[in-house]
Every structure is written in structure tokens, then in C-alpha cells.
């Protein structure tokens, strides 16, 4: 290549790169001066009026507020692209408005420019003197003040020139025009206006006086830059090479390319990253890809006529994490059980495709003792119905897998002992039920040791106790019994408990009354509240396990309602699990329960806002459907982990309940069947709309759901 920029008779092409600093559009913070606003001080009263489906509300604010009028920078006249010959000067100018003081800075291909800049009377200018090929590229002006930042960019194109010496040693006598094609878009027009003639051995010599460089302007209506079949997504595994490649067609040259990722960061060369660009394509190559390379990568291609951009989503995937919880066993029988678990906390960057379930017999601790039960489980619940022996003892674990591979195993389950036929029949059968008579001759401490407190409520407190002779653990409910009304309420609950003998209902074992206190002794259930499982990430609440909970709640409440008793405080906190691993439950806390009497409307004004029925809020007569409403809310919470009527405060919650206003969130109920949603909808209806059909047959009509 010669010093004048020609290589083999062809023009030299200069390729430049540029860096764009992307910033969100700044907002203008300004307040017009109005009545009551003097010198930036707002002394007027302000009224805020809002409305939603609950009604209209307003609020007045008469506080004094100091207001500052700040206007973000704005390019009233942005920078314009500039094309000059090599050796000439180039000037960029932009007209900028905005609150003072304004800070002006310039960038050339992402690098700060410090010389030949000025800012006067709102005009920012930059002059590039004696332009050389290295000065080509993108120039960016950045204006910044306390309210925000704004920028404008333009491209400088530099054309190389070649000096042709003027011939003066021949007399010109004729006009000759030469057209020399130098490229697809340029031609040289050479003309002589003087005429002369010179003959020497039949050779003609012509001098060239004037040279005019003419550039053809494309009349194409196509875009300045067009991408050719660019990819939208690229997926690689951790450690592999990621290549993001785009081909494009440009209407003119030179072309500048830039790759941007992670909210405005420019892709630059590094130990693991390289960028290769030409006039027709550009590529980013990332060696040994990591998960933090995942994200959106945008290529911006610009020429003198405009620009275009395209975004590629890069996913660097890995094996998923192990399932987050140990498997939990439910529906245990002689040769089958149901396993439930929680999915992995991180899916590896791509969807989990399924789970492998493994089992080993208790006592066999070698790694090879684990055998695969299934490798194609598509949910977080699996029903094992073969291969298990009665009275056998087993442990289970689960692995998750995606397109990148299989995870490490989850935490092992607790040791599970399979049932026998006799045990299976007895597991929900109560011991012998007893009818309690209130003991007025002894104190509770005569027979029981009182330990730590388990809970506290409006009625009083609950303590863990143990029988002095047998050591049996029980729960003691200590009532507030200072007034006749409080004692009557305690006696009523004990009386109702004597009628509620069912495996799904907590049982009353004894009762004591003295001048200073009343105590009801109940069976102690160690599994904890169902509510605690709902909020515990170690438990997976699938539709199958939720249906098993609901079946037991319905069985227990069916028995309660047959006694003409309504609970009136059903909520997850009053559903207790029998143990820490299974799904058997019991219903507790009949402190608000009432007996229905024919011909005597019953109205109450108590309950928990999220679970209470509309008729309670409206102080209308209550009935069996009042409990069924609460059961519908419990089912909604179990399936989604959300409350259908939860408001920002109790007043808003009660308003939503009164309007019976709820919806099934698409994301939360994505994997829930229409049958389950129909069941909830059939219960969450106002009393006037609801048909009580729950107990027409010997079993609830939801058998198909379970």
C-alpha cells in the first residue's frame, strides 16, 4: 500500500468502531407557577382524589412544600453527520437547552475528547482540525445537570484524496473528457478547456488541467443497514464457546459496529471475549462461557445514512440445583405411597424437564444401594404403587434434570415404614371417645405438669402439659374466667366438644373448673399448623397434596354440620398436621363455634377478615354456608399460596369480601385444573347465590378431585 492510501490501484477503506453510552430518557422536573405559589413555595391546599372498584376517596395536604424548577438537558438541535476530505477541518454543533449549570463533555468512539471544544449561548461545538483517517468515527456530545443527562451522536466520514500534478509542457488544442471508474459509487471527470496540438512520431499527448471528483448518490429506497437472517437466541452450556454472529448489508461505507450488553455496557476485547467486524458482518466470541454471561446482546451498525440494531439473547445453561426440600410421604398404604417435594431453587438457566426418583432400603448405606423408581416424572409429586413391601422401611431422594444434565440428589426423606392392612385401617380411627364432665373438685395441676406456652388468644392461653402418672403429652386451654359471660363461653365450648367425636376433629380429654380458672385438656398434635407448611419453602403444595388436605377438612366439617354446629373460624392456623412428614390433619379451636337452632336466626360479629364470609360482615344470619365460604378461601390459599381477598388493610379486605371480588392469577394457577378452580368458585359465592349441595350424598361431591 502506498503512502497516498491506494493499494494496487484501489481506494483504501477506513473502518472505525464506536462506543455508545445508552441512558434512559431523563424526565423534566418542573412545576408551573400557579396561584398560591410564590418564589418556589407552595402555600396552597392540595386535594388528591382517587378511585378504584371500592369507591372514591380524597385527601387534602396543606403543608408547605418547597418546589424547585429543574429542566433536564435537551438537544433542541442535535449533532449532524459530517463528511470531509483528509486534511480538512470538521465541526460538530448542537443547540442545548436545560437548567444551568450545564456540564458539556465530548466522546470520540467512546473515549473522552478534551481539546477544541466550546459551549456558549446554548451552542456546544467541537472542531476536529486537519482530519486524518484516525479521526473518523462516532462523536458524542453529553449534556448533564442536576435534573438528568442527555446525549447526541453523529458520524465523521473522512475521504482520502490524491494529488494529480498539473501538466504545463504541452500546448492543448482539443477538449478531451476522461471517465475513470474508481469504485461502484465514484467516477473521475477530467476536462480540458484549452486546445493545442503536438505531433511527434504520430503520438498524441494531452494535458489534464482540471479534476472534479463526483460521488454518485444512491437512489435506493431501502434501509441504510439491513440484517441478513440474524439469530434471536443462542444457547450454550457452561464452559463452551458462545458465538454471537450477525451478517448485514450496508447501503454505503464506511460502517461502524458496536456491541452492547447489560444495560449499556460496551463489549470490549478481553481475556475471554473478542469482537470481529467488517463491512458485512460482526461477531462476538466468548470462550469458556459462564452463567453471568447470560443476557441480551445488542449490535448497532451505523453508516452515514443511518443505523440499525438487533438483539440476541444469550443463555448459558447448567445443570439445575438439587430439589430444595427432602421428599415428603403421604397416602401411605401397604405397598404404595405418594412422594412430594419442592423444585430446585435454580433451574440452571433453562426449564426443568423432569425428575428422577430413587429409593433404597433402610440399613443399606452404600451408594450403589440406590435404585431408580422413575426417570420421567414431570411434576413435583409421584405416586409409587409397586415395588414396595408391607412393613418395609425405605428412604427416598429426587434429582432434577434439564437439557444440560441431571442435578445432584436432594436431601433424603425420613425413614418410611410401610403399613400393614390392619394398621392402614386403624391410622385414622380414634381411640375410645369419652364424654367429659367438668371436674370442680380438683385443680388441673393435681393431675398434670404444666410446661411451656404454645399460644395465646382472646380466650386465654394454651400450654403444653404432661400427665403426672402416664407422661402423656396434652394441650391445656386456660380460659379467662373472671366474669359469668367468660365462664359460660368456656362451658359452651366444652359442651360442644362432647358432641364432636370424629378422627378429623381435636378431642377434649378432661376439664377443670375452680374459682380462679377454667381449663380444658385436649389431645396434643405435634405436626404444627397447616399455615406453617404453606409458607415453608421445604413443602411443595401440589394440587394432589392440597386435595388430600381438603378431603380431610371436608370430612371433618361434614360431621360437624350434621350435629347442627358451625365452626365460624376456619382458617389454616386452625388446621393442625398430625406429624411433620405426612399430610393427615385435624381441625381445632371451636371457641367461636355455635349450635344452629331451627327458627332462630344466628348473627355473629367475629372472625378473621381474610377468611370470614360476607354475611358475617353484613351482620346477617349465618349458617352452614358460612363455613363453606371459609373452606373455599383455604383451598385457594393452598393451591396458590395467595389470599383471594387480601387488601392493604382490614377495611379494604372486608370490602373485597363483601363484594365477593377475586380472580385466579394466571401465573399462580397455571398448573391448577379447571375442576379445582370450579370447586373454589362454587364456594366463594354470596349467601343468596350459593346452593348448599355439599352433603347430599354419603361423601362430598368432590371425589373426582381426589
DSSP secondary structure string for all residues of 278-306: -SSEEEEEESS--GGG-EEEEEEEEETTE
Query: d(Cα 576, Cα 527) in Å, to the nearest integer?
Result: 7
Instruction: Report the candidate in 223, 279, 249, 271 with the shortest Cα–Cα distance to residue 16.
Output: 279
DSSP state letter for 130: S
Q: Which three cell numbers stand for residue 145?
A: 445537570
CA distances to 226, 227, 309, 532, 655 from 281, rounded to whole Å, are 11, 9, 13, 57, 61
Instruction: Report the candidate in 42, 47, 48, 46 with the shortest Cα–Cα distance to residue 66.
Output: 42
* Three-class SS state of 491: helix
CA distances to 308, 383, 555, 678 from 706, rounded to whole Å, are 57, 13, 13, 14
Residues 665/671, Cβ–Cβ less than 8 Å: no
CA distances to 333, 414, 419, 465 from 337, rounded to whole Å, are 6, 14, 10, 34
Query: d(Cα 339, Cα 351) in Å, to the nearest integer?
Result: 22
Q: Which three cell numbers stand for residue 368?
A: 450403589
> At residue 151, what are phi and psi to the nearest 5 degrees?
-140, 160
Query: Is 477 annotated as ligand-binding?
Result: yes
Query: d(Cα 332, Cα 338) in Å, to the nearest integer?
Result: 7
Query: d(Cα 418, Cα 329) in Å, to the nearest integer?
Result: 11
CA distances to 94, 116, 138, 139, 599 from 152, rounded to whole Å, are 8, 18, 10, 8, 81
Q: At what angle do helices 624-640 and 543-562 cross, to 10 degrees?
A: 170
Which residues are identified as catalytic?
A: 569
The strand ranges marked E within 62-99 are 65-66, 74-77, 82-85, 90-97
Whats the size of the chain, residue-wise? 706
Q: Binding site, residues?
A: 477
The binding site for ATP comprises: 477
Amino acid at each position: 500500500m502506498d503512502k497516498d492510501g491506494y493499494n494496487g490501484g484501489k481506494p483504501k477503506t477506513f473502518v472505525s468502531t464506536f462506543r455508545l453510552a445508552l441512558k434512559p430518557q431523563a424526565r423534566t422536573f418542573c412545576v408551573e407557577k400557579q396561584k398560591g405559589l410564590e418564589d418556589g413555595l407552595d402555600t396552597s391546599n392540595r386535594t388528591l382524589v382517587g378511585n378504584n372498584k371500592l369507591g372514591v376517596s380524597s385527601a387534602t395536604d396543606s403543608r408547605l412544600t418547597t418546589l424547585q424548577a429543574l429542566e433536564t438537558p435537551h438537544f433542541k438541535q442535535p449533532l449532524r453527520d459530517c463528511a470531509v476530505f483528509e486534511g480538512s477541518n470538521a465541526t460538530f454543533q448542537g443547540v442545548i437547552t436545560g437548567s444551568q449549570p450545564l456540564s458539556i463533555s465530548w466522546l470520540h468512539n467512546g473515549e473522552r475528547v478534551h481539546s477544541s471544544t466550546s459551549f456558549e449561548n446554548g451552542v456546544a461545538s467541537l472542531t476536529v482540525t486537519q482530519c486524518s483517517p484516525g479521526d473518523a468515527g462516532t462523536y458524542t456530545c453529553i449534556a448533564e445537570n442536576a435534573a438528568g443527562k442527555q446525549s447526541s451522536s453523529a458520524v465523521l466520514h473522512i475521504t482520502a484524496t490524491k494529488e494529480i500534478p498539473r501538466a504545463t509542457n504541452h500546448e492543448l488544442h482539443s477538449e478531451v473528457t476522461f471517465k475513470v471508474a474508481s469504485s461502484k459509487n465514484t467516477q473521475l471527470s477530467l476536462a480540458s478547456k484549452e486546445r493545442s496540438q503536438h505531433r511527434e512520431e504520430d503520438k498524441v499527448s494531452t494535458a489534464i488541467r482540471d479534476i472534479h471528483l463526483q460521488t454518485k448518490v444512491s437512489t435506493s429506497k431501502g434501509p441504510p443497514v439491513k440484517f441478513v437472517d440474524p439469530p434471536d437466541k443462542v444457547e450454550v452450556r457452561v464452559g463452551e464457546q458462545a458465538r454471537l454472529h450477525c451478517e448485514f448489508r450496508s447501503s454505503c461505507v464506511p460502517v461502524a459496529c458496536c456491541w452492547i450488553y447489560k444495560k449499556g455496557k460496551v463489549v470490549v476485547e478481553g481475556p475471554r471475549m473478542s469482537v470481529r467486524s467488517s463491512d458485512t458482518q460482526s461477531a462476538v466470541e466468548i470462550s469458556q462461557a459462564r452463567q453471568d454471561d447470560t443476557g441480551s446482546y445488542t449490535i448497532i451498525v451505523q453508516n452515514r445514512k443511518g443505523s440499525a440494531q438487533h438483539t440476541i439473547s444469550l443463555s448459558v445453561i447448567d445443570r439445575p440445583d438439587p430439589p430444595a426440600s427432602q421428599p415428603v410421604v403421604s397416602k401411605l398404604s401397604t405397598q404404595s405411597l405418594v412422594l412430594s417435594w419442592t423444585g430446585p431453587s435454580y433451574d440452571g438457566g433453562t426449564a426443568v424437564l423432569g425428575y428422577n426418583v430413587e429409593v433404597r432400603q433402610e440399613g443399606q448405606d452404600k451408594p450403589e444401594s440406590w435404585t431408580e423408581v422413575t426417570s420421567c416424572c414431570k411434576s413435583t409429586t409421584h405416586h409409587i404403587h409397586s415395588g414396595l413391601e408391607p412393613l418395609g422401611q425405605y428412604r427416598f431422594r429426587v434429582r432434577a434434570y434439564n437439557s444440560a444434565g441431571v442435578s445432584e440428589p436432594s436431601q433424603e426423606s425420613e425413614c418410611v415404614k410401610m403399613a400393614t392392612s390392619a394398621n392402614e385401617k386403624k391410622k385414622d380411627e380414634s381411640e375410645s371417645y369419652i364424654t367429659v364432665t367438668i371436674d370442680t373438685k380438683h385443680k388441673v395441676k393435681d393431675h398434670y405438669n404444666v410446661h411451656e406456652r404454645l399460644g395465646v388468644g382472646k380466650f386465654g392461653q394454651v400450654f403444653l402439659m404432661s400427665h403426672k402418672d402416664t407422661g402423656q403429652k396434652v394441650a391445656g386451654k386456660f380460659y379467662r374466667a373472671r366474669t359469668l359471660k367468660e365462664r359460660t363461653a368456656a362451658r359452651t365450648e366444652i359442651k360442644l366438644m362432647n358432641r364432636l367425636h370424629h378422627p378429623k376433629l381435636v378431642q377434649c380429654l378432661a376439664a377443670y373448673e375452680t374459682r380462679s380458672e377454667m381449663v380444658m385438656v385436649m389431645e396434643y398434635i405435634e405436626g404444627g399448623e397447616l399455615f406453617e407448611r404453606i409458607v415453608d419453602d421445604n413443602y411443595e403444595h401440589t394440587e394432589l397434596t392440597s386435595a388430600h388436605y381438603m378431603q380431610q377438612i371436608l370430612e371433618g366439617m361434614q360431621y360437624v354440620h350434621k350435629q347442627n354446629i358451625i365452626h365460624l373460624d376456619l382458617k389454616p392456623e386452625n388446621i393442625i398436621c398430625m406429624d411433620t412428614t405426612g399430610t393427615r390433619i385435624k381441625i381445632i379451636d371451636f371457641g367461636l363455634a355455635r349450635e344452629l337452632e331451627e327458627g332462630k336466626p344466628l348473627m355473629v360479629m367475629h372472625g378473621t377478615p381474610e377468611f370470614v364470609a360476607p354475611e358475617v360482615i353484613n351482620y346477617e344470619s349465618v349458617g352452614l354456608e358460612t363455613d363453606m365460604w371459609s373452606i373455599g378461601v383455604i383451598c385457594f390459599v393452598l393451591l396458590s399460596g395467595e389470599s383471594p381477598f387480601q387488601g392493604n388493610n382490614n377495611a379494604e379486605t372486608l370490602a373485597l369480601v363483601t363484594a365477593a371480588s377475586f380472580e385466579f392469577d394466571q401465573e399462580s394457577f397455571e398448573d391448577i385444573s379447571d375442576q379445582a378452580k370450579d370447586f373454589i368458585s362454587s364456594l366463594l359465592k354470596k349467601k343468596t347465590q350459593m346452593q348448599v349441595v355439599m352433603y347430599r350424598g354419603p361423601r362430598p361431591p368432590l371425589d373426582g378431585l381426589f
